[in-house]
Amino acid sequence: MLIGIDLGTSSVRAAVVDEGGRIQGLGQQEYPIETPRPGWAEQDPEQWWRATCLACREAIVRAAAEPSDIAAISFSGQMHGTVLVDAAGRALGKSIIWADGRSGALAGRLNQALGEERLAELAGNRVAPGFMAATLGWLGEQEPAELARARWALLPKDYLRLRLGGDPASEPSDASATLLFDVRRGAWSGELTQAVGVDGALLPPLARSTDVVGRLSAAAGAELGLLAGVPLVAGAGDQAAQAVGNGVMVSSVASCTIGTGGQVLQPLDAPHADPQLRVHCFCHALPNTWFLMAATLSAGLSLRWWRDTLGLPAEGAYEALDREAERAGIGAGGLLFLPYLLGERTPHMDSGARGAFVGLGLEHSRGHLARAVMEGVALSLRQGLDIMASLTLPPDGLVASGGGAKSRLWRQIQADVLGKPLRTVRGAERAVVGAAMLAGLGVGVYADFDQAREACVHYGDTVTPDRDRVAAYNRLLKVYEHLYPALLPVYVRLAEIRALTADNPSITAEADSDS
């Protein structure tokens, strides 16, 4: 048996997985995103730890597994975030996660200083707020004493592995998403760390995703209900892990994930960055493999926000919204939604963008708004897929992943908006399964990635795009693409007002006389 742990943004999932990739026991624990100021996003590493202990114990009980059954543990995790730890491995405070926007101005300065051409050559990506490079740069300017206390700057899953008894380490799939990493050389970049003003000694040693980088400590084993000494395998960032769990390992197959965020991911056999840096180019968990990725920050999070805004109980809420959204029909009665609740990455790379319903009328019900949210997320992902198609051969089809894949309606919307057949994989929690596959590869359960895929990845039904609906969504896309440029001046003005009211809460913002 293997254990995969996926440290997500909203919750941690732990699963006991057999050698055929079947989940025998699953545990899950939620935790909040803290927003102490507008645009900030933090989480408490201690909450991650407590949640992981509970989730692992739950998974082991549900699997009816003995501690001695577990051969290895590996990890998947939310990417980009930063955890500062001291020499003893203790977290020095809250983790600034990927959704944080406080470093937006600094990220802009770094992009301008380095230039698109050099960033594409070195990092394969634009510096974005919430990425470790921008976060460490911000800490160096705003909280230098805190940064000086740190021995290591770790990514979230790497902190969790350290807490379990692992060595300070990272691996290419997650490290390449820090923007401190040379994607071609597969190493930390002195040029990038120098540009950010970060001491390269803060960054941990690098391993492969399938390397054993420590063993479960006695103290952590007692917390998790496991024996000390279980091998801890490096793991991968959540997108690389779900790609492994979905069998997305060659360029002819891409994945479309709707979790908290949304991503379209397509593997590459060589790094090929977008010259305009609208999509990401990261390292895969497989050796000598990379991937292009388009990212929408608020995908499933947008629908969760709508659910919570309506005050619906978690149990049965999404099923109810699905039924109402299906009745609303294509185009949601002339209503469009921009899913920029946390700003946006692909294609705009703008932390100041904000969500919007456009075309709202008295005739619209909550089902129309739910449908608009689903379609808005899919249209945002379509923009990313179109950019990727300009850089490499488009995939033959996609694999649906994440919580959004549970919705038959949302899968059909994705297939119709993206214009590609959309397959599912039998069995849920593919990032967790991908982490377990990496654990198995690390201790020799599988000889190589091909054998792991054959053993663990079994495809289910396929949703086929409908020609008429594809044509309708292509027309809708043309309208959708006009909205961000049209609203950009409004975003700038609103950002000024937000900054004013954040610094002076008693001020009532009023429009200028000429607005």
Query: In terms of DSSP bridges, do strands 83-85 and 152-154 run parallel, antiparallel, or are they unpaired?
Result: antiparallel
In a 3-state reduction of DSSP, which class is residue 258?
Answer: strand
pLDDT tens, position by position, 376-396: 999 999 999 999 999 999 999
User: Residue 154 and residue 156: Cα distance in Å, rounded?
Assistant: 6
The residue type found at 302 is S
User: Residue 333 and residue 488: Cα distance in Å, rounded?
Assistant: 25
Q: What is residue 259's predicted lDDT score, i.e. its pLDDT? A: 85
Residue 515: pLDDT over 50: no
* Residue whose C-alpha is closest to residue 132's, from 186, 177, 163: 177
Mean pLDDT (the chain) is: 93
Task: Please give the share of the chain, as a percent, with pLDDT higher than 90.
Answer: 87
Residue 512: pLDDT over 50: no
Considering only the C-alpha atoms of the chain, give the largest distance between any 2 of them, rounded to a whole number of Å: 72
Token pair for 410: 């949302």
E-strand ranges in 216-371 read 231-233, 236-237, 253-258, 262-268, 280-283, 290-296, 336-338, 356-358
Residue 501: pLDDT over 70: no
pLDDT tens, position by position, 165-222: 999 999 999 999 999 999 999 999 999 999 999 999 999 999 999 999 999 999 999 9
Active-site residue flag, 238: yes
Residue 267: pLDDT over 70: yes
User: Residue 74 and residue 210: Cα distance in Å, rounded?
Assistant: 9
Catalytic-labelled residue, pool 158, 174, 238, 322: 238
The H helix count followed by the E strand count for the chain is 17, 22
Q: What is residue 261's predicted lDDT score, i.e. its pLDDT? A: 87
Token pair for 493: 């003005």
User: Residue 381 and residue 375: Cα distance in Å, rounded?
Assistant: 10
Q: Taking the chain, what is the end-to-end CA distance rounded to the nearest angstrom?
A: 64
State the residue for tokens 């319903």. Answer: 357
**Helix, strand, coil content of the chain in percent (nearest 5):** 45, 20, 35
Question: What contacts 503, CB < 8 A, 6 or more positions away?
Answer: none
pLDDT tens, position by position, 72-113: 999 999 999 999 999 999 999 999 999 898 998 999 999 999
For residue 347, say if its preceding peptide bond is cis, omega within 30 degrees of 0.
Answer: yes
Contact of 431 with 263, CB cutoff 8 Å: no
Token pair for 307: 């659910």
Contact of 10 with 30, CB cutoff 8 Å: yes
Question: How many other CB atoms are found less than 10 A from the CB of residue 253?
Answer: 19
pLDDT tens, position by position, 271-327: 989 999 999 999 999 999 999 999 998 999 999 999 999 999 988 999 999 999 999
User: Residue 258 and residue 8: Cα distance in Å, rounded?
Assistant: 13
With residue 505 as reference, give the H or E element that holds it.
none
Residue 514: pLDDT over 70: no
- Report DSSP state, residue 205: P
Question: Is the C-alpha dihedral spanning 462, 467, 468, 472 positive or negative?
Answer: positive
User: Residue 100 and residue 38: Cα distance in Å, rounded?
Assistant: 9
Question: How many other CB atoms are found less than 10 A from the CB of residue 228?
Answer: 14
**How many Cα neighbours within 13 Å face the side chain of 411?**
21
Residue 283 burial (10 A CB sphere; 0-12, 13-18, 19+): buried
Contact of 56 with 45, CB cutoff 8 Å: no
* Residue whose C-alpha is closest to residue 97's, from 33, 152, 48: 33
Question: What contacts 185, CB < 8 A, 6 or more positions away?
Answer: none
SS in 3 state form for 367-427? HHHHHHHHHHHHHHHHHHHHHHHCCCCCCCEEEEECHHHHCHHHHHHHHHHHCCCEEEECC
Average pLDDT for residues 34-55, to the nearest whole number?
94
Token pair for 187: 């190493």
Q: What is residue 166's predicted lDDT score, i.e. its pLDDT? A: 94
User: Residue 262 and residue 265: Cα distance in Å, rounded?
Assistant: 10
| Dihedral class, residue 332 (left if φ above 0, else alpha if ψ from -120 to 50, else beta) | left
Homologous superfamily (CATH) for 2-240: ATPase, nucleotide binding domain (3.30.420.40)
